Amino acid sequence: MNIVSGDAVYAVEITGNGEPLVLLHGFTGNRDTWKFLIPILKDHTLIMVDIIGHGMSAAPADPGRYEMDRVAEDIKHILDELHFPKAHILGYSMGGRLALAFACLYPEYVETLILESSSPGLATAEERETRKRNDRKLAERILEFGLEAFVDHWEDIPLFESQQRLPAKTKSAIRKQRLANDPAGLSNSLLGMGTGSQASYWGDLQALDFPVLLLTGEFDPKFCGIANLMDKKLGHAEWKIINGAGHAIHVEDGEKFGKIISEFLKRN
């Protein structure tokens, strides 16, 4: 189904019954990322969203429309349209940053928060400025060299090195998903809601008073380090490191990922 939020149309897929769980994919992904969870979490209403600039959702020409607070407001609007006053929120990587931003801006809407390989942003203005410059170069690369060349580059970054061990069929499906995106949408997503552009939410973590689950893969030392710092600041958090997985745990060990999510939701 399509849900209009302001001047943007969001593609949203809803399955199941029970307490709602909003699922937010990573950069270059789409809502199909989460289809494997449908049989595992059949006791929940799964709200799978194509984040702005991705999948079948709108890809506005103005990078400002992708700013984190505006997209978080879109998620709030989607829940309002679906008449859900509260939901569990799960996000991976970019979607995790969006999930955390949403939780900080609209905590009254959050039942629990699940963050896979995510961060609250960069702590200092200097770090954000450096990252913003790098994101701008990536955004320009997409438009200059085309989506396929960008995906070739993206698949080869160290963050996804552990995915080289995946079956060829799985890697092909991920590549197909990435190539289905709008190049301008991805470019503007980097400019508008990239890690360099978003506000830092490090100072907001202590105020979150709902259960938070942090998930990182053992082969992802950068995000294990971030999760360690987040775990110390959050008042109601548990952190799990998944052995044998890297940045995209849900891809590299979907069965274990689904089981951990299911058990966490049952407890909370």
| Whole-number average pLDDT of the chain | 96
Q: Please report the DSSP string for the chain in residue order.
A: -EEEETTEEEEEEEE-SSEEEEEE--TT--GGGGGGGTTTTTTEEEEEE--TTSTTS---S-GGGG-HHHHHHHHHHHHHHTT-S-EEEEEETHHHHHHHHHHHH-GGGEEEEEEES-----SSHHHHHHHHHHHHHHHHHHHHH-HHHHHHHHHTSGGGGGGGGS-HHHHHHHHHHHHTS-HHHHHHHHHHHSTTTSPP-GGGGGG--S-EEEEEETT-HHHHHHHHHHHHH-SSEEEEEETT--S-HHHHSHHHHHHHHHHHHHH-
pLDDT, residue 176, reads 93
The domain segmentation of the chain, as residue ranges, is 2-267
pLDDT, residue 141, reads 93
pLDDT, residue 189, reads 97
pLDDT, residue 244, reads 94
pLDDT, residue 91, reads 98
Distance of CA 79 to the CA centre of its chain: 17
Report the pLDDT averaged over residues 9-16: 98
Report the pLDDT averaged over residues 234-249: 96
| Fold of domain 2-267 | Rossmann fold (3.40.50)
Banded model confidence at residue 263, pLDDT cuts 50, 70, 90 = very high
Q: What is the pLDDT of residues 148-164, one digit of tens each?
A: 999 999 998 998 999 98
- Amino acid sitting at position 63: P
Report the pLDDT averaged over residues 99-120: 98
Q: What is the pLDDT of residues 46-72, one digit of tens each?
A: 999 999 999 999 999 999 999 999 999
pLDDT, residue 180, reads 94
In terms of Cα–Cα distance, which of 71, 100, 81, 59 is closest to 185?
59
**Residues of the chain above pLDDT 90, percent:** 96
pLDDT, residue 255, reads 95
Q: What is the pLDDT of residues 161-191, one digit of tens each?
A: 999 888 999 999 999 999 999 999 999 999 9
pLDDT, residue 31, reads 97
Report the pLDDT averaged over residues 75-102: 98
**Residue 117 is encoded by which pair of tokens?**
């390989």
Q: In what order do the strands lie in the sheet with 212-217?
A: 2-5, 8-15, 44-49, 19-24, 87-92, 110-116, 212-217, 237-242
Phi-psi region of 52 (alpha: psi -120 to 50; beta: other; left: phi over 0): beta
End-to-end CA distance of the chain: 29
pLDDT, residue 13, reads 98
* Reported pTM: 0.96
Contact (CB, 8 A) for 88 and 19:
yes
Report the pLDDT averaged over residues 182-204: 96
pLDDT, residue 14, reads 98
